[in-house]
Amino acid sequence: MRLTQYFLPVLKENPKEAQIVSHRLMLRAGMIQQSSAGIYSWLPMGLKVLSKIEQIVREEQNRSGAFEIKMPTIQPAELWQESGRYDDYGLEMLRIKDRHDRDMLYGPTNEEQVTDICRTHIKSYRALPINLYHIQWKFRDEVRPRFGVMRGREFYMKDAYSFDLTAEGARIAYNKMFVSYLKTFARLGLTAIPMEADTGPIGGDLSHEFIILADTGESGVYFHKDWQEKDMVADISYGDDLQPVVDQFTQLYARTDETHDANTCPVDEADLMMRRGIEVGHIFYFGTKYSAAMGASVSSPDGEMTDLHMGSYGIGVSRLVGAIIEASHDDGGIIWPASVSPFDAGIVNLKPGHSETDKVTDMIYQAAIKAGRDVLLDDSTDSAGAKLARMDLIGLPWQIIAGPRSTERGVVELKCRKTGEVVEHSPEDAAAALLAHLAQKVSQKVS
Ligand code: ATP
Ligand code: MG
């Protein structure tokens, strides 16, 4: 993509309304535009990142054996009256009337809708287990929408729902999602720590929030210092017995301030870390709460009708865009992990019109395209300083920088955004080195 043909509305000034770095950088890098409080338009580069995160989440859900569906954003009130949550949900729910004066709502979550699908079609234990997920916009009229996409009113979520005959079956489903989350966040370049969470009235130990560390996080978190060395790349296949893998992670202490109690915490003070964190995912098992209320039962092997055991599993897809930036940035701007970067690399032509520089940058640009890479070529007439600052701001992992001074010496610069390291190469060698770096990214991704 040539920048002069692209839509990348970068802001020069720091937007006053942005209190945290991810919100500021997303606005400055032209990724989003606020429509109203907590509601955003996604501009081309922002949407690219959102879609890449969505795709990684989807691939890992599919790999765990879940099936993708798409449920509507608008739901009928009746379903929520059946479960009893229509009144309970309160002001966070956006309630709507259609032209026939029927009560509708913009879905804040989908337990009722998916339970309705299962009770209609699943009558026997033979159809179980099943896990259905979708990736869809949600609306919650949050009291205090803030921090850009991190706490929006309209936001994009992956929510999965598992259905099993027994509590033991539901635990297997839970463990699959647990492992799927470890794989997903590792691919996103994040260390997300699973923390024991409140299960509410149902009790039991089956609820975890996945939290990444960031000073601007809304939750206080407490965890054993060994988490910092823990390898989160869970390279494990999906058998039914994932309990040992889950135990490996859950036996190491990690709690949010909602469940941590200094008096009962088993970790020595010297080993206990206290930080702030961002919740990027939440999984829980809630038994037959919805199936019993909504009549979702199946015939069991002994012929009795049994209420389905359910779990639900969320990932904040749009929140992740901000969360990744919180975890990966410097004074110059964003530093994208290769797996979600909006472009694979950027090429800066410091002086369009200078024939040698044009020739060299075009050669590298074409070579990258030919190799199937998605690169951004800055062919604008902005000042050299503005171009370099913009390329750092938008955070592509690799940059090729070429201008009259370097090309006349027969070299260009290859820069790693993360380390800042710059290496001079001949244009041909720079193209080859760039493609080699990018190929490395792909092999990491599919492992
Ligand atoms: P929180 O405690 O942050 O309000 P929640 O417990 O309400 O989250 P869930 O209902 O479990 O969250 O939703 C699943 C995921 O959706 C969360 O882990 C989070 O990543 C994301 N999420 C929830 N609310 C918002 C929001 N207002 N804006 C953006 N993402 C959100
Ligand atoms: Mg909430």
Give the predicted TM-score (pTM) of the model: 0.96
Rounded distance from Cα 316 to ligand 1 centre (Å):
6
339 belongs to a structural domain: no
Q: CA 366 to CA 354: how far, in whole Å?
A: 18
Q: What is the DSSP string of 162-191?
A: EEESSHHHHHHHHHHHHHHHHHHHHHTT--
Same domain flag for 277 and 352:
no
Is there a contact between 379 and 349 (Cβ–Cβ < 8 Å)?
yes
The beta-carbon contacts of 196-205 under 8 Å, at least 24 apart in sequence, are 196/250, 196/254, 196/255, 196/259, 197/256, 197/258, 197/259, 197/282, 197/284, 198/258, 198/259, 199/284, 199/285, 199/286, 200/286, 202/285, 202/286, 202/287, 202/289, 204/285
Ligand 1 site residues, Cβ closer than 6 angstroms: 109, 140, 142, 151-152, 155, 157, 279-282, 314, 316, 318-319
For residue 202, what pLDDT is reported? 56
Same domain flag for 116 and 242:
yes
Same domain flag for 317 and 354:
no
Q: CA 229 to CA 348: how far, in whole Å?
A: 37
Same domain flag for 311 and 425:
no
Q: How many C-beta atoms surround the C-beta of residue 170 within 10 A?
A: 23
Closest listed residue to residue 254, CA positions, set 207, 312, 319, 286:
207
We report the CATH number of the domain holding residue 372 as: 3.40.50.800
Longest dimension (CA), the chain: 83
For ligand 1, atom 2: residue with the closest CA? 279
- Indicate the residue among 334, 359, 387 that finishes a domain: 334
Q: CA 87 to CA 242: how far, in whole Å?
A: 38
Same domain flag for 266 and 316:
yes
Same domain flag for 361 and 241:
no
For ligand 1, atom 13: residue with the closest CA? 314
Q: How high is the mean pLDDT in each 10-residue block of the chain (447 residues)?
A: 98 91 98 97 98 98 98 98 94 97 98 98 97 98 96 98 97 96 95 88 76 92 92 79 91 93 94 96 94 96 96 98 97 97 98 98 98 98 97 98 97 98 98 96 49
Same domain flag for 305 and 241:
yes
For residue 445, what pLDDT is reported? 44
Is there a contact between 295 and 288 (Cβ–Cβ < 8 Å)?
no
Same domain flag for 180 and 109:
yes
For residue 446, what pLDDT is reported? 41
Same domain flag for 154 and 260:
yes
Residue 274: Cβ-neighbour burial (10 angstroms; 0-12, 13-18, 19+):
exposed
Is there a contact between 403 and 351 (Cβ–Cβ < 8 Å)?
yes
Q: CA 211 to CA 44: how far, in whole Å?
A: 28
- Indicate the residue among 311, 334, 357 that finishes a domain: 334
* Domain boundaries, position 199: 3-334
For residue 344, what pLDDT is reported? 98
User: Which of 92, 279, 320 to probe ligand 1 with, by most ligand atoms within 8 A of CB?
Assistant: 279
For residue 199, what pLDDT is reported? 75
Residue 29's SS3 state is coil
242 belongs to a structural domain: yes
Residue 400's SS3 state is strand
For residue 205, what pLDDT is reported? 60
For residue 153, give the ligand 1 atom closest to its CA. Answer: 27
Q: Tell me the residue ranges of DSSP E strands in 124-167.
A: 130-139, 154-164
Q: Which residue has the tokens 């770095």?
A: 21
Q: CA 57 to CA 151: how far, in whole Å?
A: 20
We report the CATH number of the domain holding residue 38 as: 3.30.930.10
- Indicate the residue among 300, 334, 368 that finishes a domain: 334
